[in-house]
Amino acid sequence: MSKEQNILIVDDHPENLVAIEAILEDLDCSLLRAASGNEALSLLLRHEISLVLLDVQMPEMDGFEVAELMRKSQRTRMIPIIFVTAISKESRYVSRGYDVGAVDYLFKPLDATVLRHKVRFFLDLDEQKRRLEEKLRKSQESMRELQKMLAASQKEA
């Protein structure tokens, strides 16, 4: 596909951003980083995002709030979210993560192999979605052309 895939990594600790980037650096995509919920929301408005890796506990706006705001927006509603946390491991937090729309909930320290495979899976799904959308767009264009031809032939008759 011609469009580049972007992964948004959100964590208020720079060392965690660097660690996740190091794990994912060999994937064929761009890694965008945000150090806060507000910065993440800003990037979500300015970029097409394929996947969000979202820290749960952050100052000012936690990951749950970011996810809730994402799910309320038509533009970001369908972007997969994987929560990544070192602290919020209790089942009530995990349940809340899924309740606000997470597709997965991972605990730090991250297993690099597991994270890469999960991210690759969601990038593959995003690629398939893009291909289907392109096929749909082309089919709709063809349908409009056929309708124009039919209308023109009916005028001539």
Q: Cβ-count burial of 72 within 10 angstroms (0-12 exposed, 13-18 middle, 19+ buried)?
A: exposed
* More reliable by pLDDT, 3 or 26: 26
Higher-confidence residue: 6 or 88?
6
The secondary structure of residue 5, as a DSSP letter, is P
Residue 3 has pLDDT above 80, yes or no: no
- Which pair of tokens denotes residue 30? 């761009």
Instruction: Report d(CA 105, CA 95) in Å as an integer.
Output: 9
Higher pLDDT, 11 or 154: 11
- Sequence-distant (≥ 6) Cβ neighbours of residue 107 within 8 angstroms: 84, 85, 86, 89
Q: What does the buried/exposed string (b/e) look like for 117-135 if buried means 16 or more CB atoms within 10 Å of the residue's CB?
A: ebbeebbeebeeebeeeee
Q: Distance between CA 68 and CA 81 in Å, rounded?
A: 11
Q: How far apart are CA 79 and CA 102, in angstroms?
A: 9
pLDDT digits (tens, 9 = 90+) for 112-131: 999 999 999 999 999 999 89
Please report how many Cα atoms fall inside a 13 Å half-sphere around the Cα of residue 120, on the Cβ side. Answer: 12
pTM of the model: 0.85
> Which of 94-103, 133-142, 145-154 comes out lowest in average pLDDT?
145-154
Residue 75 burial class via C-beta count within 10 angstroms: exposed 0-12, middle 13-18, buried 19 and up: exposed
Domains in the chain (CATH in brackets) are: 6-130 (3.40.50.2300)
Could you tell me the pLDDT band of residue 154, with boundaries at 50, 70 and 90? confident
What's the chain's Rg over C-alpha atoms?
A: 20
The tens digit of pLDDT for each residue in 17-34 reads 999 999 999 999 999 999
Q: If pLDDT is split at 50, 70 and 90, which confidence band does 2 have?
A: very low
Judge whether residue 1 has pLDDT over 60. Answer: no
- For residue 150, what pLDDT is reported? 84
